[in-house]
Amino acid sequence: MIPLPRRKFLRAIAAFGGASFCLPRVRLLAQTHAHTGITTSAVTGLAPFVDALRIPPVLKPKIVNKVDTYSLTMQSGMSKCHRDLPATEIWGYNGIFPGPTIVATKNRAVSIKQTNNLPMAHDGGEMTHMLPAVHLHGALVEPGSDGHPNDGIAFGGGTRDYLYPNQQRACSLWYHDHTHGMTGERVMKGLAGLYLLRDPSVEAPLKLPSGTREIPLIIQDRSFAANGQFIYNLDDATLEMGFQGDNILVNGVVQPFLAVETALYRFRILNGSNSRIYKLALSNGDPLIQIGTDGGLLQRPKELASLEIAPSERCDIIIDFTKLPVGAKIVLENLNGTDSTAQIMRFDVAKRVTESKSIPEFLQPWEELPEQKSVILRQFNLARQTLNGALTWTINGYAYNSANPPLAKPVIETIEHWNFVNPTNHPHPMHLHLVQFQIVNINGVPQEASEFGWKDTFVVPPASEVTFLIKFSGYTGRYVFHCHNLEHEDFAMMGEFEVLPKS
C-alpha cells in the first residue's frame, strides 16, 4: 500500500534542503498531490468490554557491572486484539504489542541492545529500507543513545546498544520507534513499550497503590480490516489530521474490562496514539485524581472531572473505588470521541476489601526554573505548507532534514524561553528530546508552571501560542524536537537543536 505522497514529499524536502523561506501565517493551502486511491473498509461495531485488560510483561534484567542489561528484538508477531477479530500481524519489541515494560531505578543505568529482525518489504514502497531507531521518550541521555533518526539499525539482525543513565526524576517514559519519515506507520504497527523509572526514596514514603493496584494503561487507536489486520492509509485526511483509528485499544486490546477491588488504584497512563487526543472522564462522575505527568509526580494531587491527554503525554492518576458497590461498572470515557471512540475501557468492581491506604496531600517538592535567568526568547512558527505539490508541516519554514543546520544552539546549563506559535487549525503536541520543561505562558497569559508539572510534550492549540521554559543540561550535542502527531512529524514538522558546551 501507499507512499506516493511520501515519495513526492521526500523529493520535496531534498529539493528544499536547508533553504529557508517566508512563512505565510494561517494559510491552509490546497493539496495538489494525488490520492493513493487505496481504500479498505474498516471493521466497526466490535463489542466493547468482552476481553480482559492485558498487562505487558515486565522484563527481568541481567546485571552486568551494576548495569541492568536487556536485549530486545524488533520482530513481527501475531496479537489477538479482540475476541471477534482474527489475530493481527504486529511489529513489536520481542514481537509483542505493546512491547514489554522496563522498570528502572533512579541512578542505576540500564543498557538495552536492540536487534532489528523486522521484515523489510512490508508495504512494497520506497520507504521500506528506512532503518528503525529507538527513542526513549522523556529520557535524559547522550545523543548516541537518543534514537536520532540518522542512527537507524540495519535490517537482517543489525544491533545497537542504548545506554540510559536514569539520572532524572522518577517518571513514566516510553520507548518507541523513531524511523526517519516512517515513525507513524511503525508505531502504529506496535513498536512501543513502557519504561517506568522509579525512585524509592521519593515514592516509598508516599505509600501509593502498588503491585496489582498499579496498572499501566497504554491507550491507542487502530483500524482493522475484516481479516484482523491493521489499516494504515496515508491519504489526504491522514496527512492533514494524523492517523486516527476507529477502535480504542488499551494495552493492545480493544475496549477491555478490568476487574477491580474496592480500593485505590494507580494507573500509569500513556497516550500512545499517533494523533488522537483523549479527554478522559469516569462515567459515574467520580473524579480522576492526577498525581503525575510526563516528568513525574506533581507537587500535590489534583482532583479533575476530566483530563485531556495528547499523543505521547503521560498521566499518573488514582481512581478511588472504595465507596462503590460490588457489581458497579464504571467506564473510562473519552469525551472527545463519538460512537466506538467514546469509550476506552471499563472497570468492574468485583470484590469488597478494606482499603488502608489514603492519597497523600503532598507528593514531591516543586523546583521552579527561574524565568529571570532565561538568556533568550526563541520563536518557532508552526505551519502547513505545500512544497513541490506535497503537503508538508514545517517549523520556521523548514521541512525536517538532518542536513539542515540546527534551529537553535542553546549553551549547556542555560535557561531559554521557547515560544511556539501555531497559526494552523490543528493542535500540535510539541516534544523536545533530552529535556523536561515548564509551561510559563499561554496566549500571553502567564501560567503557574507547577500546575502542569514537568513536561516533555505539550499541546500548542490551534491559533494559539505557548511558551516553554527550558533548562538545557546533562549532555551536549544534537537532538530533535518535533510535533508528536506522528504523521505531522513524518511529514517534516521536526527540527534539531544543538546543545553547545560552555565557551
List of residues contacting Cu ion (CB under 5 A): 428, 483, 485, 488
Cell of 307: 483530563
Q: How far is the CB of 493 from Cu ion (least distance, A)?
A: 5
Q: Are 429 and 458 in contact (CB under 8 A)?
A: yes
Which residues have CB under 8 Å from 204's CB, separation 6+? none
Q: Closest CB to Cu ion among 89 and 490?
A: 490
Cβ-based nearer residue to Cu ion, 137 or 428 = 428
Rank residues 332 and 483 by Cβ distance to Cu ion and give the closer one: 483
Bond prior to 98 in cis (omega within 30° of 0): yes
Rounded-to-10 torsion of CA 335, 384, 402, 439: -50
Instruction: Select 125 or 311, whichever has its Cβ closest to Cu ion.
Output: 311
Min CB(256)–Cu ion separation in Å: 29
Torsion of CA 204, 205, 206, 208, to 10 degrees: 30
The minimum distance between CB 242 and Cu ion, in angstroms, equals 7
Is 147 or 429 the residue whose CB approaches Cu ion more closely? 429
Instruction: Give the containing element (helix H, strand E) for 349.
Output: strand 343-351
Residue 436: CB minimum distance to Cu ion, A: 20
Exposed e or buried b per residue across 207-219, where buried means at least 16 C-beta atoms within 10 angstroms of its C-beta = ebbeeebebbbbb
> Edge to edge, what strands does the sheet with 288-293 contain?
253-254, 247-250, 214-222, 264-271, 314-320, 288-293, 296-304
For residue 393, the minimal CB distance to Cu ion (Å) is 6
Nearer to Cu ion, 250 or 310 (CB): 310
Nearer to Cu ion, 79 or 274 (CB): 274
Number of Cβ atoms within 10 Å of the Cβ of 125: 18
331-344 burial, b for 16+ CB within 10 Å, e for fewer? bbbbeebeebbebb
Shortest CB 294 distance to Cu ion, Å: 17
Contact 76, 57 (CB under 8 A): no
Q: Least Å distance between CB 387 and Cu ion? A: 16
List beta partners, residue 217. Answer: 269
User: Which lies closer to Cu ion via its Cβ, residue 314 or residue 426?
Assistant: 426
Q: Least separation, in Å, of the C-beta of 424 and Cu ion?
A: 8
> What is the DSSP secondary-structure string of 304-316?
ES-EEE-TT-EEE
Q: Sign of the C-alpha dihedral, residues 415, 494, 99, 291?
A: positive
What single-letter DSSP state applies at residue 96? B
C-alpha cell at 436: 523536561
Report the residue number, 343 or 464, with the smaller CB distance to Cu ion.
464
Shortest distance (Å) from residue 275 CB to Cu ion: 8
- Least distance from Cu ion to the Cβ atom of residue 475, Å: 26
For residue 118, count other CB atoms closer than 10 A to its CB: 23
Which three-class secondary structure state does DSSP give residue 202? helix
For Cu ion, the closer CB: 81 or 382: 382
